[in-house]
Structure 1
């Protein structure tokens, strides 16, 4: 006995009943640990036998001969360095024997291939028994080292189940086959027991044999299955195949009982076998029809599938580009002038909707749309620019569009305008149409007119819209001039003050110039008003010159018919012709031309407008399309209409071929000035430059389809005018003359 320390306490002093003095001390002995009990050999064998019987009773669900507490005590007694190995071997032997018996039973029960229910019943029962055994061996678990503490028994039990039951070749094949069969049935639409499969997969994962036992074969079977499914693309429509593929992906991604890693590998197989290997065939067979029918939902599926395929988005973008090129070329080449812009806008809206709803607003597709539209539209030269101006003119004249609808149209028109290279052509034709709208009061909204100009100003700068803004200033100034002129008539010519006359004074440099018909025989009353206004205007605006544009004038004429009196809204030319019938009942074409001095081609248009259609104010002797000099016209006294004021179609408002040629000529002149300015600016910056470099720079600066021969002529002209000169040593080089 070894005394390790002493304790002082008066209560433990046995020598006297008296209270011991404070200095009295007593030693408290502490005995060494007694160690493990000495086990006699015959007792050891007896305990081994008891433990073996007890473990077998637990495994075979029998009542053990001794209590679990005694089994625990036996393990505790044998848990020393000398007997621990034997203790472990005993446990291993008993479990191996049990599992081998169960293996044979399981093989017999699963001969029909149905192994899950029997295997799961065994596993659940075995797991409960392992918990009991683990509690019996808890002292053994606590003494284990190398990471096995508290878990050695569990691990050995699991390992034995894996090696004896799961990895047994026949059972393994049956387990894997039933798993594959069940998953394949689910792919066919059958309902499966997810809990059962989930437990089997969990067992394989817990034993770390999932990949070797099941996953490799599962992936191989999946590849074969989806390879067979991909063959169906040629027997089904593209829409059906894409929807089926998307359904497969959705189904495989939701297999919660399989590890996420396995699902991702299966999805990769689907994308490879069903999408990547058939992508060209799918796009060649069905992309155009999907785009034509605007199946945005199916196109969205196609795009989502292509995103997960190497270079898939680039491939679908290539087909998208070819589709735009084909359809846009068809619209530009084959459609009429009136419908071209409307169809381009509708087609573009359709493509933008597809990009937004199906292609995830991918900028690649938006850029392709812009590039192809720009290329195709400009293949028709100046025609798209001219048609765009006419289209915008028709919308700004329309009475059936509210402000919101018109503003929406303007936004779309401005997008098309950005695609057009020949913006100067658009400006020339739009300005001409704007002039007609302002002069004849055909514009739906002045605010929208100004909105267009502000948008053009943002796109092309102040110089581009300077003339248009000047036109609006002229209209406003003319309104003030007319108010002052009416006041002038009241003061100077009170007898004429009641007349409703309005004059628009237009700056020649802003408006489309045209030569007035100076030989026209104008009615005396109108000539008097012209003379008075000329005198008034020249007095208030010294140094100005007025040139009357008779082809742009219009009048309100009161006509008396047999049954009623009507007001006719007509042009000045129509007015002059109608006034002749105050003094004549019938007139021939040649006689009318002689009395009015109207140009013969213009006169035919005027007579046609008065004698054809619903408003036949004049009756032609022969109902033929052509108008001959000998044709006779008579005033239609029996004309009737439910309206009091009737508008006669003013055909002179429509652009003639001659006017179009003049416009084109003016555009070419403006381009020559632009080329001259560009060449001089480039040489002023470079000082010296070669011919090829100069040509390339001019094309980059102007961004207009300039013919090389035209550019060469402008260079020669600038040399003659001594803005630039050729280098004396190298004629292919140009030098700027300061």
Structure 2
């Protein structure tokens, strides 16, 4: 360019000189890719600051685009024309890199255009012009071949071949950069087709794997494929492709065959659970948690499996209990204990699966709970699971039952037993049975360890609340206070020897509201026992004046010395049994009616007492006639010839099944509980329809699952008692009556 270029630009050849300047700069930048001299920058600046009519900025801007187009047409396109596959990609990367460098430096030299002319006229910037030229002349011509070449290389890599990942990364960047980071070119011109090819590839693979691979091996292949696809995104694909790419893979290899995989009879989900394949189950959870309905399907299979296992335990116990032969009765009792132990083992086996393999997911906790509720609320061997669980705990807590376990083991057993209670609907039934068993352990000194008794109550309180264990805790506390009272009574007798009856007396004072209800009677005590009662009755007012003593003789025990012709034996009997035997100190023979009148007991009680003394294992009395049943015509006499190898024996009473009585008590209490719940709801809501009232009542009753018939009967009863009334216009609507 001559030094007097400003004057030359005013001539008619100005347009050609502009072209020469642009071509010179573009050519030099494209060849040298380096900084031009400041002298040329000043020339451009001088050309742009001329005043009209010599202002060349618009023509310079136009020629800038024309020269770049010419450069692409004459240099870039010929270099790409005959190249294919990887060679095409390499050449395109080089040309795109050169084009970006050229565009960068040209925008610096023509920066005056960007800062003033382009901005003032709202025209595309020089960079945009350069990018647009490359888009129109190069990218749109080659994008199809480039896309196919890239997808071909990806397929080769999936097939196990080594490819140039750096090259692919550079090509992918062209798709991204050519759209100035709007991603439209990348998505429309490459990603859509790439995802379709990915789906097609894995569809073919999955159709082969499903025929030859087991479920665990299939999952390993899926896991490896997902890992490799993520690796491809890291190395050359754009990050936005990862979720779409992984979704395509999951759909083709998992969603399409999910039912076939999970329900495989030889290696499916149920088999993995049965064989406790922890690693495979964890992998299954991880893979299927990412697909729609995946976890739901697994959870239903898992629920069905646990339900079947639990129901099998119930059926096995029922089969043993169905044998009514006498010699099998002990076995039945042992089988019932085995049932609870096997249920605990089943729970222990499944909890690690839920916590570890299924990552403690709420869905699996829910289905495990539902499965256990299904079979734990069935009748097992004629008994409720609540009763069996109480018997199991009683066997652990009483003397002789826990000696084979360490304290730590007992704590774990009790913890597991309490966890099972969470699946049982009739928790109030559990409490009532447990009160009975606890009372026997405490009153008859059969509890092995008071710390364990308190420990299980603490666990029950944590799970079910304070109200659940308040009476049970009161029973344990009563025993502690009773021991203190007994110690004070002994001190009292020592200080008042005249009051001492001469017989060792131990009295356990109980709080009526805590303990099960026991029947009291106007039993006629023997004279020896009467003196003991009087002694304690004189002592107790010194301790408190606010309590009234009611004597429950049916719970008492006595140690008496019986002198037979051949030996003297110490007998451990109940208070009633002792009273019967003491009658024979004054009489050789007594009829049934005489015994009944002197003791003032009910007919059923007398029959049980006499059966225990003359019809069972230890025949302390002789009966005429000599039969195994008791009738009102029988006559009894002391068996002075009785002998036994033991010097001390316990005389048991015939076993009485208290289950029926407990069930009656529970049913009666449930009526009060339902009444209170209904009144509480209606008092707060004032007006409520029938279905809403029943729904809220069921939701609030936590200690048992109420029968809908019971709720309806209690509603009718409350209406009759004028606590509620039906709306005159809508009979399904109830109103609370204050």
TM, length-normalised to structure 1: 0.63
Q: Which residue of 159, 168, 187 corresponds with 1:197?
A: 168
Residue 387 of structure 2 corresponds to which residue in structure 1? 386
Residues 432, 512 of structure 1: 8 Å contact kept: no
Distance (whole Å) between structure 2 residues aligned to residue 604 and residue 328 of structure 1:
43
Q: Any idea what the Cα deviations from partners look like across 1:561-581, whole Å, max 9, x if unmatched? A: xxxxxxx999669xx9xxxxx
Residue 631 of structure 2 corresponds to which residue in structure 1? none
Distance (whole Å) between structure 2 residues aligned to residue 601 and residue 161 of structure 1:
113
Distance (whole Å) between structure 2 residues aligned to residue 303 and residue 549 of structure 1:
60
Distance (whole Å) between structure 2 residues aligned to residue 184 and residue 348 of structure 1:
48
Change (3 A) 1:476 1:347: same
Residue 484 of structure 1 corresponds to which residue in structure 2? 489
Q: Structure 1 residue 350: deviation in Å?
A: 4.6
Distance (whole Å) between structure 2 residues aligned to residue 305 and residue 88 of structure 1:
54
Are 2:582 and 1:603 aligned?
no
Residue 433 of structure 2 corresponds to which residue in structure 1? 429
Residue 309 of structure 1 corresponds to which residue in structure 2? 291
Residue 610 of structure 1 corresponds to which residue in structure 2? none
Residues 677, 697 of structure 2: 8 Å contact kept: no
User: 1:401-420, aligned counterparts within 5 Å?
Assistant: 406-420=410-424
Secondary structure in structure 2 of the residue aligned to 1:269: helix
Q: Which residue of 217, 220, 224 corresponds with 1:240?
A: 217
Secondary structure in structure 2 of the residue aligned to 1:309: coil
Residue 373 of structure 1 corresponds to which residue in structure 2? 372
Change (3 A) 1:392 1:187: farther
Distance (whole Å) between structure 1 residues aligned to residue 76 and residue 360 of structure 2:
61
List runs of 5+ in structure 2 lacking aligned partners.
49-55, 180-184, 318-334, 542-547, 563-568, 579-609, 621-641
Q: Any idea what the Cα deviations from partners look like across 1:454-478, whole Å, max 9, x if unmatched? A: 6656837759753773465256425
Q: Any idea what the Cα deviations from partners look like across 1:39-85, whole Å, max 9, x if unmatched? A: 5457976886687577557656799xxx9678767767877168534
Q: Which residue of 465, 469, 472 corresponds with 2:474?
A: 469
Residue 260 of structure 1 corresponds to which residue in structure 2? 239
Residue 443 of structure 1 corresponds to which residue in structure 2? 447
Residues 306, 312 of structure 1: 8 Å contact kept: yes
Q: Structure 1 residue 180: deviation in Å?
A: 2.1
CA-atom RMSD, angstroms? Answer: 6.0
Are 2:474 and 1:503 aligned?
no
Distance (whole Å) between structure 2 residues aligned to residue 302 and residue 180 of structure 1:
31
Are 2:278 and 1:274 aligned?
no
Residue 102 of structure 1 corresponds to which residue in structure 2? 79
Residues 131, 178 of structure 2: 8 Å contact kept: yes
Q: Any idea what the Cα deviations from partners look like across 1:591-650, whole Å, max 9, x if unmatched? A: xxxxx99546641799xxxxxxxxxxxxxxxxxxxxxxxxx998599xxxxxxxxxx998
Q: Structure 1 residue 392: deviation in Å?
A: 1.6
Q: Structure 1 residue 258: deviation in Å?
A: 2.0
Change (3 A) 1:234 1:36: farther
Q: Structure 1 residue 353: deviation in Å?
A: 3.9
Q: Structure 1 residue 296: deviation in Å?
A: 5.3
Distance (whole Å) between structure 1 residues aligned to residue 561 and residue 314 of structure 2:
42
Q: Which residue of 101, 104, 120 corresponds with 2:93?
A: 120
Residues 397, 447 of structure 2: 8 Å contact kept: yes
Higher-Rg member (1/2): 1
Are 2:184 and 1:206 aligned?
no
Secondary structure in structure 2 of the residue aligned to 1:443: coil
Residues 520, 551 of structure 2: 8 Å contact kept: no
Q: Structure 1 residue 124: deviation in Å?
A: 3.9
Distance (whole Å) between structure 2 residues aligned to residue 710 and residue 150 of structure 1:
81
Distance (whole Å) between structure 2 residues aligned to residue 82 and residue 691 of structure 1:
85
Residues 130, 157 of structure 1: 8 Å contact kept: yes
Residue 291 of structure 1 corresponds to which residue in structure 2? 273
Distance (whole Å) between structure 1 residues aligned to residue 42 and residue 487 of structure 2:
124
Q: Which residue of 306, 309, 318 corresponds with 1:327?
A: 309
Q: Any idea what the Cα deviations from partners look like across 1:264-299, whole Å, max 9, x if unmatched? A: 221222232233323333332323233344555544
Secondary structure in structure 1 of the residue aligned to 2:167: helix
Q: Structure 1 residue 223: deviation in Å?
A: 0.9
Q: Structure 1 residue 337: deviation in Å?
A: 1.5
Residue 664 of structure 2 corresponds to which residue in structure 1? 668
Distance (whole Å) between structure 2 residues aligned to residue 131 and residue 52 of structure 1:
16
Change (3 A) 1:94 1:704: closer
Residues 202, 249 of structure 2: 8 Å contact kept: yes
Secondary structure in structure 1 of the residue aligned to 2:257: helix
Q: Structure 1 residue 216: deviation in Å?
A: 2.0
Q: Any idea what the Cα deviations from partners look like across 1:389-414, whole Å, max 9, x if unmatched? A: 12222333424656665455444433
How many residue pairs get matched? 611
Residues 538, 545 of structure 1: 8 Å contact kept: no
Q: Structure 1 residue 652: deviation in Å?
A: 5.8
Change (3 A) 1:652 1:368: farther
Change (3 A) 1:46 1:665: closer
Distance (whole Å) between structure 1 residues aligned to residue 475 and residue 33 of structure 2:
110
Distance (whole Å) between structure 2 residues aligned to residue 304 and residue 371 of structure 1:
23
Change (3 A) 1:250 1:570: farther
Q: Structure 1 residue 218: deviation in Å?
A: 0.4
Change (3 A) 1:693 1:74: closer
Q: Structure 1 residue 98: deviation in Å?
A: 1.0
Distance (whole Å) between structure 1 residues aligned to residue 71 and residue 451 of structure 2:
98
Residues 490, 496 of structure 1: 8 Å contact kept: no
